[in-house]
Every structure is written in structure tokens, then in C-alpha cells.
Amino acid sequence: MNEQQNVSIIEVGPRDGLQNEKGLVTTENKLTFIKMLLDAGITSIEPTSFVHPKYVPQMGDAAALYSELIKRVDPLIYNLSCLVPNVKGYEQSQKVGVKEIAIFSAASDSFSKKNVHATVDESLANLKKVAAMAKSDGVKVRGYVSTVFGCPYEGQVDIDRVHQVCETLFNYGCYEVSLGDTIGVATPGQVQQIIPAFKKNFDLNKLAFHFHDTRGIAMANVLTAFNGGARIFDASAGGLGGCPYAPGSTGNVATEDLVYMFNSMGVNSGIDLAKLLDASLFILTALGKRSPSRLVRSLRKVEGAYCEF
Amino acid sequence: MNEQQNVSIIEVGPRDGLQNEKGLVTTENKLTFIKMLLDAGITSIEPTSFVHPKYVPQMGDAAALYSELIKRVDPLIYNLSCLVPNVKGYEQSQKVGVKEIAIFSAASDSFSKKNVHATVDESLANLKKVAAMAKSDGVKVRGYVSTVFGCPYEGQVDIDRVHQVCETLFNYGCYEVSLGDTIGVATPGQVQQIIPAFKKNFDLNKLAFHFHDTRGIAMANVLTAFNGGARIFDASAGGLGGCPYAPGSTGNVATEDLVYMFNSMGVNSGIDLAKLLDASLFILTALGKRSPSRLVRSLRKVEGAYCEF
């Protein structure tokens, strides 16, 4: 039916996923998880974040993890983007030679204040310094905008404000900006409405869509974005994740759900679903939890091999 | 963005939903549930089925329920379609004056044999008698084809076979045929492929799509079908349901999920989401269970009123 089309999936499970799990995962298990994800064909992955361990103890091993990771995986072949919240985080990331960072700002002040104790403008001013340092160090920068589709404190977020934040991040030198549905309130109708405005102001090939499946509608949002021309999606293996500062949010949309759907449509993500499931089941077992993804759960039912793959 | 468009949602919760719940619901609670669904704006509903109580004890009160229901609700205003598996079931339905029935056949022999102990052809031959009796009695008939998108025993089902079964049901006088993804294995790619073939052979305005959310992809399937021109969808309040003869199947797609998505797209279902949620929470409370719908679960978090509605 379709011509062959491609999508890029950015795997955020090791960072956005694991940072919200109660259980601490050992550095060695994280490394195995990341290696399995790369073996499944994932080429862009967020391995960790350089945040203060007081706030996110799950990422307390960022430096050790990254140092060990680049002994096993070539950071020039894979995109191994590490989240940094500020100059201090950036400096720490550079001590271990991080080649790509991700910076983030919310689009709503209330969320920004709760999350990073700064307004959006203050937060952007801080990021400007980080981005400038990265530029002079030859470090790639990816950007995130959170609360694009709604804020837990303010409700609907002004789309012009989202565009401003996006534009600022591009001006700072971000090669790609990810639009976060931080609390999982995006709807297909909203995505349908929002896409033409983004298309007008930005290159859709530089915008990623980052959905959470709080209301079970993430896959319909992904499909709507895809139909509107989006080709880059963030996702989390097994559907791990959430946001500690976003009340009621649940996990990121599962990478498996995306690969399964795109496979069915003849759209290539370059990811091997069976190997991806192996990676997810490895980390889920380490965490002692079930995947929130119905797909992952239903495919576990078949003994020995994953049904149909 | 869109012109105003309409969809019809056929509520199957009281039958397809409750028949698969372990707990028995009292006739009075079922009546309250149905009344609340109708009050929410639903106009087509399957209140019960006239099957042998040995096989489906949950529907053992079919005659009593229907008799009482039509004292409270006008069966000439609402579509109150009762499932009947055979002539005996039909005869029982007529003792209480049922004005519309639903008949069903699988599209795969293995499933048909397990479900009704007859091949598809044998099953259709039985239904022919039922449909003829209904015709002479002036009773409306709706048809179901199960295993359209896959059979738990045979895997992929031949689409030509599905078309034959559909055509047979239309020839028997069905005013509408519902295409069942009985075990929840349909994918957006498959729906996208299947729709043009159905469009060629049938009137899409006489075909309903009946998805189960086993793999978390039902809403993307609904959206794909809608984008392809489908306008009639079966769903179950709160996402109740499943199929006792279909291993691994989970609930029907939740009516709430559909209404929520279509509302966001400016597509009118005529259903009030808040009142629908009231109905679902009533029956979920009676069953002592949580909804499998993430939407229903996330909206319960907000005290007093449903978030955003």
C-alpha cells in the first residue's frame, strides 16, 4: 500500500524510563540493557542524565555508566545523548567526554518552577550558557520542550509560547527539538491541529514527538503525527517512565508499541522487535515489574518465542 | 479543522462486556447500567444474549432483563439488539418480544468449531433459519463476523472468506455487519489494507468495526478505520469484555476511549463522556473491578468531577 517509509525512534528508556522507577538498577544491568537495545537496531539512545543525585538518585551513576559505556560502544557511531539540566551538569558530563547532550525547558512557567525552580525564561537563559559551552566544545545538543500539549498546573499551553521556546532552542544550536506530552494529555485532535502550525514554522524532520500513554491514546497520537508528516518519535523500551514532577503521568509510550505499529504499516524503524522485547524483559525482570504496555504483556504469554515475530 | 462529522457507537458492554466477567451482576444493576448508558446519549445497545445459561451464566436472566427493560425504555426508539446463537435462542427472544437480534458467525472454521461446535458453513446454515424467522416476524437483524483480523488457532484469516461470510449475512437480511477483531490482533497496517477491499464490495455505512484492545493498539485501529471512511464502531463501556473462547483476548475497546478521541477531533458521537463515565463506574463498582481503560483510570483520579469534562 505505502511506499517504503522510515521513522527514527529515539530510545529514552535508560534515562526517562529508569529515572522514574522506584528500584535502583545496577550500573552493570543498565549497561547490559543499553547494549541489548543497540543490538536490537536502536541507533539513538539516552543512556543517562547528569542531574543531582539528591533529586534523581536513579541517575547517580551517570559518570561511571558513561565511562564504561564508551569502552563498549562507539559514541561516534551511535547517538548517546545525555540529559544535562544546567552548567554544572554539563561540566560533569564533559569530565567523562560526553559527545552529545540534551537540554530541556518547559513551555509553562508553573511546571518549570516546580521542575527546575525557574521560570521558562530563566531556564532558557541558563540553557543558553550550556548550549554555548557545548558549541565551543563541539558537543551536539538536542532540545526538549515539556508540557507542549498541556500542563498539570495551567492546563492548555499557548502554542505560540511553545513555538517561541522551540525557536529559542534551535537558535541555541539544537539539531533537533523533542515536543513532550509530559503528562499524557495530548489527543489526536490536538495533534492534528498542532502539526500544520509546526510545519509552517519549523522543519518536521527536526522535530521529535514525545508521548506518554497516561490515557491510552498515545499510539493514536503517534499515528496522527505520522500521518501529518512527523518522522521522529521518542519512546521507552517496555513503556518504562513517567515524570516525578507531573502528577498523574504514567510511562512513555512503549518502543515496542511503535515498532509493532510501524511494522504493520510497512514503515521501517530499523528495530528488531524480538530483540527489543528481549531488552525490555531483561530490564523489567531486573526491576521486578510488569510492562505497562499491553503489547509487551500479551506477547509474553507465548512460551519460548514471541508470538508472530 | 474538520467539517462536523458523525460516528455511531454501538454499546456492547452489557452483553459482550458482562458475559466475560467472573462476577454475576444482578438484573436490577444491569438495568440501571443500561439506563445510565442510554441517558449518556447512547442509542444502540446490546442489552443481553439469549444463549444457554450453561455456557454463559452471566446472561441467564436474558428474558427477565429484556421484559423489564422494555417497560422502562421504548424499543422502537432505541436499538436494543439481543444476541441469539440459534433458532432456540431466537424463539426465546420472541417470547419476550425482542424487536432486534444479532447473529454471529466466525470467518475461520477452527474458531467456529470451538465457539459453536459447527463449521462456518454449518453455522451460516443455522443462521439462515434464524434470519428467515426474524424476517417473517419483522424483527431487525444485525450480523457479526468474528476472527476477521486473525484467528487464535489459524492465524491470518483469508479476506475473501471474510467477504463471503459478510455477503451471506447481508443476503440473510442483516442491516449492518460488524467486523470483529475477536482476539485483538488487528494492526493499523492491516486495517489500512483491508478497508479499500471492503469499500469495493460493501457499503462502509453498513459495516461496523469491533476492536479489542489486547495489544493496546485498538485506538490506532479505530483511527485508521475512521480515516479510511468507517463510521460505525462497537465498544464497551469501561472496556469490559473479552471472549471466553479466544485465548489471550482482553476487553473490548472502551467506549470512553472512542468518545474522548472523537471529541478531540470534533467528531460527534452524541455521547456525553461524563455521563458515560458515571455508567461505567457504576458497573465497575458493582463488579468490584478497575477499568482496563487507562483513560477511565486516569480520569478517576480527579476528585468530585472528571478532569476536563
Contacts of A185 in chain B (CB under 8 A): 308
**Residues B259/B263/B268/B270 CA torsion (nearest 10 deg):** 50
Q: CA B146 to CA A77: how far, in whole Å?
A: 48
ipTM computed for the complex: 0.91
What residue ranges define each of the domains in chain B, with the CATH number in brackets? 5-300 (3.20.20.70)
Alpha carbon of A191: minimum distance to chain B alpha carbons (Å): 9
Cell 428474558: give the residue: B63
How many CB atoms sit inside 10 A of residue B115's CB?
A: 22
pLDDT in tens, A17-50: 999 888 889 999 999 999 999 999 999 999 999 9
Among all residues of chain B, which has the CA nearest to that of A266? B189
Cβ contacts of A46 within 8 Å, gap of 6 or more: A10, A11, A12, A14, A15, A16, A80, A81, A82, A83, A102
Measured CA angle at A247 (ends A246, A251), to 5 deg: 70
In this prediction, residue B244 has a pLDDT band, given cuts at 50, 70 and 90, of low
Q: Distance between CA A153 and CA A81 in Å, rounded?
A: 29
Residue A157 near residue A107, CB atoms below 8 Å: yes
Q: Which residue has the higher pLDDT, B240 or A145?
A: A145
- A105: β partners: A145
Which pLDDT score, from 0 to 100, does residue A220 have? 98
Q: Which of these, B141, B190, B134, B140, lies nearest to B162 by C-alpha position?
A: B190
Residues in chain A within 8 Å Cβ distance of B264? 187-190
pLDDT at A170 over 90: yes
Where does the pLDDT of residue A75 fall: very low under 50, low under 70, confident under 90, or very high at 90 and above?
A: confident
DSSP string covering B146-179: ESSS-BTTTBS--HHHHHHHHHHHHHTT-SEEEE
A243 is catalytic: yes
pLDDT for res A245: 55
Put simply, whether the predicted model's pTM sits higher than 0.90 gets the answer yes
Percent of all residues in chain B with a pLDDT value above 90, rounded to a whole number: 80
Q: Do A250 and B294 touch (CB under 8 A)?
A: yes
**Measured between CB atoms, which of B190, B224, B299 is closest to A223?**
B224
- Tell which residue, B132, B230, B134, has the closest CA to residue B177: B230
**Residue B187 grid cell:** 494492526
Single-letter amino acid, residue A28:
E
Q: Which pLDDT score, from 0 to 100, does residue A243 have?
A: 55
Nearby residues of B295 by Cβ (< 8 Å), 6 or more positions away: A215, A216, A217, B254, B256, B257, B260
| Residues near B96 by beta carbon (within 8 Å), at least 6 away in sequence | B63, B66, B67, B70
Ranges A180-184, B28-32, B202-206, B304-308: which has the least confidence: B304-308
* Pairwise CA distance, residues A64 & A19, whole Å: 16
CA atoms within 13 A on the CB side of B52: 7
The answer to whether the Cβ–Cβ distance between A220 and B216 falls below 8 Å is no
Contact residues, chain B, for A257 at CB < 8 Å:
216-217
- B250: chain A residues, CB-CB within 8 Å: 294, 298
Query: For residue B224, which of A224, A230, A183 has the smallest C-alpha distance?
Result: A224
Q: Answer left, alpha or beta for residue B250, where phi above 0 means left and psi between -120 and 50 means alpha.
A: beta
Q: How far apart are CA A57 and CA A69, in angstroms?
A: 19
Q: C-alpha dihedral over B45, B48, B51, B55, to 10 degrees? A: 110
**Could you tell me if residue A303 is left (phi over 0), alpha (psi between -120 and 50 degrees) or otherwise beta?**
beta
> Which amino acid, residue A165?
V
Is the pLDDT higher at B305 or at B14?
B14
Between A and B, how many residue pairs show a Cβ–Cβ distance under 8 A? 105
The pairing of strands B8-11 and B232-235 is parallel
Number of H helices, E strands in chain A: 11, 10
Q: Which among A1, A220, A299 has CB closest to B219? A: A220
- Give pLDDT tens digits for B117-168: 999 999 999 999 999 999 999 999 999 999 999 998 888 999 999 999 999 9
* Contact (CB, 8 A) for B146 and B104: yes
Task: Tell me the per-residue pLDDT of A106-164, one tens digit each, with 9 for 90 and over.
Answer: 999 999 999 889 999 999 999 999 999 999 999 999 999 999 999 988 889 999 999 99
Q: Among all residues of chain A, which has the CA nearest to that of B223?
A: A220
